[in-house]
Amino acid sequence: MNATPENADDLIVVGKIFSVHGVRGEVKVFSFTDPIENLLDYRHWTLRHEGKVKQVELVSGRSTQKDLVAKLKGLDDRDEARLLSGYEICISRSLLPNLSADEYYWYQLVGLKVINQDEQLFGKIDHLLETGANDVMVVKPCAGSLDDRERLLPYTEQCVLKIDLDAGEMRVEWDADF
């Protein structure tokens, strides 16, 4: 493991180390990829936690259905592995697969202004939640917002009318009173 950081603006969080597994230095990982095993396709991770950044190499990994168990190069001690608990796992955005024209990664949606069919600005997308039925956008008020309400909007074809990344906007079909 070395401490050479990647360009912070290029990094995207794809998982998090949350515990240790066994006595040989393996770590338990919560994956933000879908399916979760896709995280194992990336061999070089940038680990980030409270201002600390480390470069690591994935040697092997496996799924336990809910999470992953990963073996990192040079990490052979349980106590040393425990020190990585809480670290975010990041990769370069350039490593993500290209999507079709009507698909977006969550990180691309965060920060977009949300404007409804009546030209009312609800705020900006703060983050998204996975609920099972559909993803949900958490829209928080910003300068110029209609009001100070936080809104939860479904990320569905019925709600989302148009996404314009260049303009930094998302148009939605959503009543301001709902």
Taking the domains of the chain in order of start, what are their residue ranges?
A: 8-94, 106-172
Above 80 in pLDDT, residue 8? no
Question: How many residues in the chain?
Answer: 178
Distance CA 17, CA 47 (A): 9
Contact 172, 115 (CB under 8 A): yes
Which of 32, 23, 31 has the alpha carbon at shortest distance from 71?
23
Does the 8-94 domain belong in CATH 2.40.30.60? yes
Show the DSSP H helices in 25-150 as ranges: 78-82, 106-109
Per-residue model confidence as pLDDT tens digits over 27-86: 999 999 989 999 999 999 999 999 999 999 999 999 998 899 999 999 999 999 999 999
Distance CA 177, CA 91 (A): 40
Above 80 in pLDDT, residue 6? no
- Kindly give, in sequence order, each residue whose CB lies less than 8 Å from that of residue 50, ignoring residues fewer than 6 positions away: 86
pTM, entire model: 0.78
Which of 6, 9, 70, 3 has the alpha carbon at shortest distance from 36?
70
- Specify the pLDDT at position 178: 87
Task: Please state the φ and ψ torsions of residue 41, each to the nearest 5 degrees.
Answer: -75, -20
Per-residue model confidence as pLDDT tens digits over 130-162: 888 899 999 999 999 999 999 999 999 999 999
Identify the CATH assignment for 106-172 out of 2.130.10.10, 2.30.30.240, 3.20.20.140, 3.30.830.10. Answer: 2.30.30.240
